Structure 1
Amino acid sequence: MKYDFWVRQSHKVLGVFIIIQFSFGMSVYYTSLPARLVDLHRSFGYVALVIVIFLIVARLIKPNVPYNPPLSISNYILAKIVHFGLYISVLGMSLTGIIASVFSAHEREIFYLIPLPQIPNHVELSNYIFSFHSFFAYMLGICFILHLFAVIYHKIILKDHVLARMW
């Protein structure tokens, strides 16, 4: 059995978004990127938020696809922890980035098309909230790597069909 088409495609798109956003975010943090790229990073954060909310809702309302073969108890618990960490970190990173941006002095439009509410700048609050954005980014990096290790483990070492649920 597989997850439905939209869940599988959203999973893939979110994975690509995470890689791109993480690369942009680390570049912004450690170097000086042009403002347009920072604005794109900010705008794509909104898209990532919509995708992860869709995935969470879909996972809650659609029946769970069983693992084939069933996972051991320890692997099942680890998979649940990593997936929960992925969802929480993408949600947390998106929300803290959005909220910090709203209070910052940065441009407040999504893809230069959709204006955001005009809230007075509050740089101290923006910086404080942004510190959580960094925390969620590192949490996401760890969970994403663990997720990729699980893919390698199931595909190359176990050679089972666990990945067929999503691919």
Structure 2
Amino acid sequence: MRTDQRAWRDDEAGYDRVARVFHWLVAALIAAQFVIGWTMPDIHKDTRPEGLIAWHLGVGATLIAVVVLRIVWRLAHPPGPANVSPLLRAVSQVTHGLLYLALLVVPLLGWANASSRGWSVRLLGLLPVPAIAPTGSSVGHAMGDIHGYLAWVLFALIALHIAAALFHRFVLKDRVLQRMLP
């Protein structure tokens, strides 16, 4: 490994500090999104993007940006392989792939729905991002329903991810979970 990368790695087989920061930042943003999503008012035809709905849009846009940065970082700085069986490695790769896909698709569908309603979406709640669906688009409106259903799929994938981490820690008693802990 090159010397300039050593500062970023604590453990050859683990995730580097930047990857861990991205992981836990995404986890915090997702937790916030689910709390906001469950507590915000239902969205109807005349709903305005205020209060919790505006927060949901801003956190969602931030989530997309952080997930994209996380994916770019991971592609440029892949972690060392975990010491697990080929079957567990394959299951992990599929699960992580589905998690990354859902972490992109779910907020993109919400963004399309917001765009179709003519709502402004702002990165970090401040910087406006362009609409990705025309105002009044029936497809964009339908994306809101799909967004809601796929959020539950994302929730299930996250629960599976957490269960797998705990399985590694308490059943297999290996160091897979420690690879992502600070």
State the TM bucket, normalised to the shorter chain: 0.7 to 0.9
Out of 136, 144, 147, which is 2:161 matched to?
147
Q: Which runs of 5 or more residues in structure 2 are unaligned?
A: 1-10
What is the correspondence of 1:109-128 to structure 2 with a 5 Å cutoff? 109-110=122-123, 113-117=126-130, 121-122=135-136, 124-128=138-142
SS in 2 for 1:136: helix
Are positions 1:86 and 2:99 aligned together? yes
Are positions 1:74 and 2:87 aligned together? yes
Distance 1:111 1:11 in 2: 18
Q: Which runs of 5 or more residues in structure 1 are unaligned?
A: none
SS in 1 for 2:66: helix
Does the CA contact (< 8 Å) of 2:116 and 2:140 recur in 1? yes
The 1:156–1:126 alpha-carbon spacing in structure 2 relative to 1, beyond 3 Å, is: same
Number of corresponding residues: 165
Are positions 1:18 and 2:30 aligned together? yes
Distance 1:148 1:120 in 2: 38
The 1:120–1:83 alpha-carbon spacing in structure 2 relative to 1, beyond 3 Å, is: closer
SS in 2 for 1:156: helix
Match of 1:40 in 2: 55
TM-score using structure 2 length: 0.79
Does the CA contact (< 8 Å) of 2:67 and 2:103 recur in 1? yes
Distance 2:74 2:16 in 1: 10
RMSD: 2.5
Match of 2:78 in 1: 63
1:141 Cα deviation (Å)? 0.8
The 1:55–1:121 alpha-carbon spacing in structure 2 relative to 1, beyond 3 Å, is: same
Task: Determine which structure has greater relative contact order: mean sequence separation of CA pairs < 8 Å that are 6+ residues apart, divided by chain length.
Answer: 1
Does the CA contact (< 8 Å) of 1:90 and 1:136 recur in 2? no
Distance 1:50 1:116 in 2: 11
Q: Answer with 109-118 or 35-44: which moved more.
A: 109-118
